[in-house]
């Protein structure tokens, strides 16, 4: 009998990212089914990271169950993100999700966008 190897998640989430997703879901608008990461085309390098609430899952979205709620990765963005790690970082001056993306070949000086 052949064993089925489980496919790795498209994205790794740190404990701080899990905690932030839980915070977002705790105050999510009615009808929200999760939080979704996508990589729309924008910025000086071509692609940017965007995290938003979603009201329904798209058919090809990658679904990652977290302790605080469902996290989706846009199906069209998965190829740009495979093997990446998403973290939540806060300091005295800024707070936001950060990404270690082995697929990124470069990024703009301000860190808003990346290229693959």
Assigned domain for 6 exists? no
Q: How many Cβ atoms sit within 10 Å of the Cβ of residue 21?
A: 24
pLDDT digits (tens, 9 = 90+) for 22-68: 999 999 999 999 999 998 887 666 788 899 999 998 999 999 999 99
How many domains, the chain? Answer: 1
* Residue 91 or residue 114, greater confidence: 91
pLDDT digits (tens, 9 = 90+) for 99-115: 888 877 766 555 555 66
Token couple for 66: 């977290």
Cβ pair 104, 115 in contact under 8 A: yes
Binned at pLDDT 50, 70 and 90, residue 10 comes out as confident
In this prediction, residue 31 carries a pLDDT of 95
The whole domain housing 111 covers 12-115
Radius of gyration for the chain, computed over Cα atoms and rounded to the nearest angstrom: 15
In this prediction, residue 46 carries a pLDDT of 76
d(CA 56, CA 34): 8
Q: Is the dihedral of CA 25, 110, 81, 79 positive or negative?
A: positive
Assigned domain for 1 exists? no
**Which pTM value belongs to this model?**
0.82
Token couple for 47: 């692609």
Give the CATH number for residue 22: 2.60.300.12
Cβ pair 37, 73 in contact under 8 A: yes
């Amino acid at each position: 009998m052949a064993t089925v190897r489980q496919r790795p998640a498209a994205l790794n989430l740190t404990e701080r990212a899990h905690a932030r997703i839980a915070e977002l879901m705790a105050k999510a608008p009615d009808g929200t089914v999760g939080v979704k990461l996508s990589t729309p085309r924008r910025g000086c390098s071509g692609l940017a990271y965007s995290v938003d609430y979603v009201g329904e899952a798209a058919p090809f979205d990658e679904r990652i169950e977290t302790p605080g709620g469902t996290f989706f990765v846009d199906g069209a963005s998965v190829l740009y993100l495979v093997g990446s790690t998403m973290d939540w970082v806060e300091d005295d001056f800024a707070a936001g999700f950060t990404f270690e993306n082995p697929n990124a070949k470069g990024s703009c000086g301000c860190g808003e966008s990346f290229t693959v």
